[in-house]
Structure 1
Amino acid sequence: MTTTETVPTVRRAETTPTPSLPPFGQFIGGAFVASTTGATVDVENPATQEVLMQVPAGSVEDVDAAVAAAVAAKADWAAKTPKDRSAILLRIADIIEANREVLETLEAANTGKPAAVAEDDISSAIDTFRFSAGAARAFTAPGAGDYAENHTSVILREPVGVVGVITPWNYPLLMAAWKIAPVLAAGNTMVLKPSEQTPLSTLKLAELIASEVPAGVLNIVTGPGQVVGNRISEHPDIDLVAITGSVGSGQKVAASAAGTVKRVHLELGGKAPVVIFEDADLQAAAEGVRSAGFWNGGQECGSACRVLVHESVADRFTELLVREVSQITVGAPGAGDDVEMGSMISGAHYKRVLAALEDARAEGLTIAVGGNALEGPGYFIEPTVVTGVPAGAPITSTEIFGPVVSVETFRTDEEAITRANETPYGLAASVWTTNAARSLSAPRRLDFGTVWVNSHLVIANEMPWGGFKGSGYGRDLSTYALEDFSRTKHVMYNHG
């Protein structure tokens, strides 16, 4: 493949939608309150580089106040019936739906997402709350019985208590929903720290639902990870800490949580292989990678970012993929419903992705399409396909987390599986084949928490999401999430 000469441009909005901003302050005990520190963090629109507003750069004292509120509320919330908790979660879903446009506009402004991604995020958040509302009422434990002579055993399912949550910047409201819904459904109270880069939609949600959720059940503290996140991880009154973020952040949280021997729930990075066998529908595979490799600008832990294609069809597949990727429309929020890809989240991340592309060039890899920054305001990078990637190249195992898909080839099924598994991550993968036997055998041999066959990045709330190896442990979504945020107690009655 030769480098494509056509340079795409960023489609700009004629008028930028004005977001409805949340109140200033920390959300503690059911209300927005002043932080104990006067320090603030600028929150930027990455598509325009304009500052949207400032939020408090929270303190240890802010976290302590939020934890105290959660502790005070936990007994009453845990005592509510599943039916009562379910009703509140359903009301939250209704409120999000009623304020869909407000939240979509705010999310797009804070992240640079195109309309299609922002809309999907809000729709998925709504469904997350509705699923958890139902799961709260259907959540069961093993039946009572006599497992020792003259003794009846009963298993009680209890909340763990107070849950600390740290959410990422790539899906601010959706990742908050993935934690808030099952945490509350299982009967816990919580303290949540959103990313300091993207806190606005989570704060707006708190404003919208403040009258529905009892005071202290949900608390939100903004600020830097090294202060707010660290205090949440180490706080003795937090019983479990859950993070969605990078491997490095997860390691820090787990190390900090070890001091108080609290449970940890880690949903970390990924480097998802896309294994395309010689009998695959190549056009469908190319379209699948276009969608799943560049969704949310590739800022997605399950992104279809690493293609392994059989050498006999590699040229044809690459031709199809380059054609698909060259047609992606890049634009700012408000620039049209057909915009597929927005900006990178920040200047710092934009520079990291461009540095990774420079490394690829320095290693002699081929940029088949894209590979450059786009002119004008905002942190925009061309959708990029890198080819000529040898086995073991750094790009095959390094999570770039941007609009970059690499393509490498394999000869045998055994080589494909071995190479796909040669990554420190184990979150997601996909297999593309029309061979029924292979579609059953290959997923079993791939060391990833989710394996799609002839699709990629399709997620259902009824099914668990989580990984192996460096991608962490614990499961989001499904009833497994409620299990993660609860504990079992065995009560044995002597009736002899």
Structure 2
Amino acid sequence: MTASFPPGRHFVDGALVAPASGRGIDVVDPCSEEVLFQAPNGTAADVDRAVSAASAAQSAWARRVPKDRSDVLHAIADRVAEHAELLATLEAANTGKPFEVARDDVAGTVDSFRFMAGAVRASTSMAAGDYVDEHLSVIQREPLGVIGVVTPWNYPLMMAAWKIAPILAAGNTLVLKPSEHTPITTLKFAELVADLLPAGVVNIVTGYGDVVGDRLSRHPDVQMVALTGSVGSGRAVARNAAEDLKRVHLELGGKAPVVVCADADLAAAASALRTAGYWNSGQECGAGCRVLVHESVADQLVEHLVGEVSTLTVGDPRAGSDVELGPVVSKAHYDRVLGYLHRAQQDGARAAIGGDALDGPGYFIAPTVLVDVPADAEITREEVFGPVVTVETFTDEDEAIRRANAVPYGLAASVWTDDARRSHTLAARLDAGTVWVNSHLVLASELPWGGFKGSGYGRDLSLYALDDYSRTKHIMHNHQNRS
């Protein structure tokens, strides 16, 4: 495994380079709590060097026609697919996620590059024409320039792809800071595709947010900052970017309500929540983590859900392919999730299953279903980001919608009902960027992902991401005959 790790260096201007400080950050295996890797502890000087390289490369990359950029993205997708098992193994080692999840992340990475490779060759805009007498208007889409990117620890490789693919497709260059907890696959990706990209088009600087992320969001030669992460990180980036009016793209937290009506297929809802609530150990911003179920069927749903959760296999992904749930990513996050669990139970919630840590080394928390959860309890309002699903009851639809929307987040939600009219009505009233009906946590590269309110703004995936990473220019030609 160690031989497969990337060198502990930044990737700048097409090469792996030593950090300016010479210091490192210990990357810890969440299954064993042992140091797995040492990443460079980046500085503002490292960021400046990377931004300079991205700035120098941007003009030539932007001038490439869409087919040329598309060909590069396809080549990147091919290279990732060629090394899929290696990348999945590294992702599982760094994050503790089961191989099923890690392989899905790699497949999503490949698909993101393939989709954007096609999308950039089929972009659409308003038709050219005379909208004023004898004046021809033409709409052009232009790249923004250099984009600063900050990616999270829950999906290190795939979230990098969700940013890199549309940023490159639109003709921009970038400097990316992965999470200090999970930099391994991002650095390995850069190493694997280095020969496919012009030097300086993609740059990776590892380090802490208050140093590397802060400098990226303040750098005068960065035209936009795109972040997937916590609400606190989003606020810091937006605050810094406001100083010189940078554009900002934020995909932040979520607290997805799952509204289960009295006529819903309860067994199907519970089966879906087995995945949607616990995929990646619940470290998923769209996770179905907050069930609001009609009081008449609550006991039945809980019985189904506890039965489903009881079959989850928890452990170190290296223990076998049957492992479905790994640890949470770090000691700090482990303590945070347990704090939410313990406070909720002290305040009257009851664990129908799980409810605490598991014995042994590693940051393992039992998959949990909390019932008898008081309305407006802390655990129903704040993002836990762990293997925890809460169950509340409601008496009528107005109450369900009011409580579902009464959180700071607006990323995702779902409605479970067999009534077609009710499904349309409730979905329209839920304040979320994605609403599923009779499913949850189903994504596709063709469809936008992003939220409202405290979940941020901007869209990942789909043609909307290409729009986010480009700007619109109107050119008007006076063609009046003056002869």
Contact 1:156–1:489 (8 Å) recurs in 2: yes
CA RMSD, 1 decimal: 0.8
Alpha-carbon distance in structure 2 between the residues aligned to 1:339 and 1:291? 13
The answer to whether 1:324 aligns with 2:301 is no
The answer to whether 1:157 aligns with 2:136 is no
Report 1 or 2 for greater relative contact order, CA contacts < 8 Å, sequence distance ≥ 6.
1
Note the alpha carbon deviations across 1:309-358, whole angstroms, 9 max, x for none: 00000001011111111111001122222211101100110011111111
Residue 444 (structure 1) aligned to one of 420, 428, 435: 428
The answer to whether 1:200 aligns with 2:187 is no
Displacement, 1:19?
Answer: 7.0
Specify the alignment match of 1:121 in structure 2: 105
The answer to whether 1:370 aligns with 2:371 is no
Alpha-carbon distance in structure 2 between the residues aligned to 1:92 and 1:474? 25
Contact 1:19–1:106 (8 Å) recurs in 2: no
Contact 2:415–2:427 (8 Å) recurs in 1: yes
Note the alpha carbon deviations across 1:380-415, whole angstroms, 9 max, x for none: 000001100122111111100000100000011111
Contact 2:99–2:317 (8 Å) recurs in 1: yes
Residue 474 (structure 1) aligned to one of 458, 466, 475: 458
1:53-452 to 2 correspondence within 5 Å? 53-452=37-436
- How high is the TM-score relative to the length of structure 1? 0.96
Amino acid in the other structure paired with 2:244? T
Displacement, 1:24?
Answer: 2.0
Displacement, 1:140?
Answer: 1.9
Displacement, 1:18?
Answer: 5.9
Amino acid in the other structure paired with 1:101? E
Alpha-carbon distance in structure 1 between the residues aligned to 2:307 and 2:110? 35
Q: Assess, with a 3 A threshold, how the Cα gap between structure 1 residues 19 and 296 changes in structure 2: closer, same or farther.
A: farther
Note the alpha carbon deviations across 1:30-53, whole angstroms, 9 max, x for none: 000111102210011111112111
> How many residue pairs were aligned?
480
Displacement, 1:101?
Answer: 0.8
Amino acid in the other structure paired with 2:290? R
Specify the alignment match of 1:51 in structure 2: 35
Alpha-carbon distance in structure 1 between the residues aligned to 2:71 and 2:36? 34
The answer to whether 1:21 aligns with 2:5 is yes
Q: Assess, with a 3 A threshold, how the Cα gap between structure 1 residues 300 and 19 changes in structure 2: closer, same or farther.
A: farther
Amino acid in the other structure paired with 2:366? E
Displacement, 1:362?
Answer: 1.3
Amino acid in the other structure paired with 1:251? R
Contact 1:95–1:208 (8 Å) recurs in 2: yes
Unaligned runs of 5+ in 1: 1-16
Amino acid in the other structure paired with 2:457? Y
Alpha-carbon distance in structure 2 between the residues aligned to 1:67 and 1:361? 48
Note the alpha carbon deviations across 1:196-226, whole angstroms, 9 max, x for none: 0000000000000000011000000000000
SS in 2 for 1:340: coil
Alpha-carbon distance in structure 2 between the residues aligned to 1:63 and 1:141? 35
Runs of 4+ in 1 over 2 A off after TM superposition: none
Alpha-carbon distance in structure 1 between the residues aligned to 2:22 and 2:99? 35
Note the alpha carbon deviations across 1:290-325, whole angstroms, 9 max, x for none: 110000000000000000000000001011111111
- How high is the TM-score relative to the length of structure 2? 0.98
Displacement, 1:418?
Answer: 1.0
Give identity over the alignment, percent.
64
SS in 1 for 2:136: strand
Comparing 224-233 with 362-371, greater Cα deviation is found at 362-371
Unaligned runs of 5+ in 2: none
Alpha-carbon distance in structure 2 between the residues aligned to 1:427 and 1:435? 24
